[in-house]
Amino acid sequence: MKRGFSIALVVLGFLAAGPAALAATPVNTTRAASAAYISGGVRIVGVRVGGLSAAAATSAVEAAFAKPLPVVVDGKTYPLAPEHVAKPYVAGAVAHAHTAVPGDNVPLTVVVRGADVRAFVARIAKQVDHKGKPARLSLVNGNPSITGNVPGRALKQEPIVAAIVHALTVSMRLPLRFEAAAVPPPKTADGGTGAVILINRSLNRLTWFDDGTIRRFPVATGQAIYPTPTGQFHIVVKWKDPWWYPPTYDAWAKGLKPVPPGPNNPLGTRWMGLSSPGIGIHGTDEPSSIGYSESHGCIRMQVPDAEWLFDHVGVGTTVFIV
C-alpha cells in the first residue's frame, strides 16, 4: 500500500508541474548535432555536402576526387587514377565547409606530384611515338619508284603534364584531348632522293625525274667494245668548264694530250662524274654522235642539255643505267 501511494504522488507531482517539467527532461542531441554539421546549400568543389555530417561529407568529397581523369590521345583514352599522382586535403575543406553559408563553394587543396604525372605521360608517349620510314629509291618496271617516306608521330609531353596538373588542382574530370604531332620521315643515307636520272642504253635516252616532273634528252652511250655500265650509281662530282685528260688505261687514248676548256673539249662545258670509275655524263664536241652508241662508256649530251642537267642535279643524285 505504501509503495502504490508513493507512485501516485509522483504522477500527481508531474501533473501539477505541467509542461515546464516535461521540457526539462534530458534528450540525446548527438545525432541532431551531427546532421547539422554543414549548412544546407554548401558545396566543396562542386560536390553537394549541405546537411551532411563531417564523415558523410568527407566520404562524398573523397569519392568525387577518386574519379579517373580521362586523358585522350589520338582518340584513345588513358584513364588516370588521381590518387596515384596527387593528395587531396579533404579534412581541411570539410572544416571550412562547417563555417560556410548556404551557396558557398568551398575549394579543395590538392598537392600534385609532378614527377608521377610526368611518368604517366611518358608511358603514354611510349605507346604513341613511332619513327617514320625514310624514302627508298628503286627501279620498278623501268622507272624510278620511291617507297617508304612515311612520317612518324611524336607526343609533346609538357602541355599534357600542365593540363593534368591544372585539372587535378581544380578537381575537374572532363576529358583532356591531345593529338601527337607528325614528324618528317628520317632522311636517307645520302640526304634524300631529290632528282633521279634514268639512262636507257638501248634507247640512247636520258630521263630526268623530280617530284613528278619529267624531262627526256637524247644521249650517246658506249660502243659495244666500251659499254656503258648498268646498275645504280650516283653523281660524285660536278665540274664546270672541265679539262679533258686522256685515260691512261685505254689504248685508244694513247698519245693524246689534255684538252683545256673550249669548243674542242670532248667533255663540252659540263662534267658530272658517276660512282663508276671513269664514267660520267657530259657535253660533247661531236653532236652528231647523239642518239647512237658511240662513246667510250660515258653518256654524252648536247652541250645545252648537259648545261641544263648540270643545274638541276647535285652531288648524290641517283643515276640508274639500264
Convert the pLDDT of each residue in 124-140 to its tens digit: 999 999 988 776 666 77
Cell numbers 634507247 correspond to what residue?
A: 203
Domain boundary among 152, 187, 222: 187
The pLDDT score that the predictor gives to residue 14 is 37
Q: How many CB atoms lie within 10 A of CB 159?
A: 12
Q: What share of the chain is helix, strand, coil (3-state, %, to 5)?
A: 30, 30, 40
pTM of the predicted structure, to 2 decimals:
0.56
- 229-268 tens-digit pLDDT: 999 999 999 999 999 887 766 666 677 888 899 988 989 9
The structural domain count of the chain equals 2
Contacts of 260 (CB under 8 A, 6+ apart): 243
Q: Tell me the C-alpha to C-alpha distance, in Å, between residue 307 and each of 11, 205, 241, 245, 262.
A: 130, 16, 10, 20, 14
Name the β-bridge partners of 196: 209, 318
Residues 148 and 50 placed together within one structural domain of the fold: yes
Domain boundary among 161, 187, 213: 187
The CATH number of residue 89's host domain is: 3.10.20
- Quickly state the pLDDT bin for 50 (edges 50, 70, 90): very high
Residues 135 and 214 placed together within one structural domain of the fold: no
More confident residue, 138 or 41: 41
Domain that holds residue 269: 196-321
Domain boundary among 187, 218, 252: 187
Residues 135 and 251 placed together within one structural domain of the fold: no
The CATH number of residue 272's host domain is: 2.40.440.10
Mean pLDDT (the chain, rounded): 85
Residue 15 inside a domain? The answer is no
Three-class SS state of 264: coil
Residue 113 inside a domain? The answer is yes
Provide the annotated active-site residues: 282, 298
Question: Strand 213-222 and strand 318-321: pairing?
Answer: unpaired
For the record, the C-alpha cell of 92 comes out as 581541411
The pLDDT score that the predictor gives to residue 29 is 43
Residue 107 has pLDDT above 80, yes or no: yes
> Contact 65/90 with Cβ under 8 angstroms?
yes
The pLDDT score that the predictor gives to residue 22 is 34
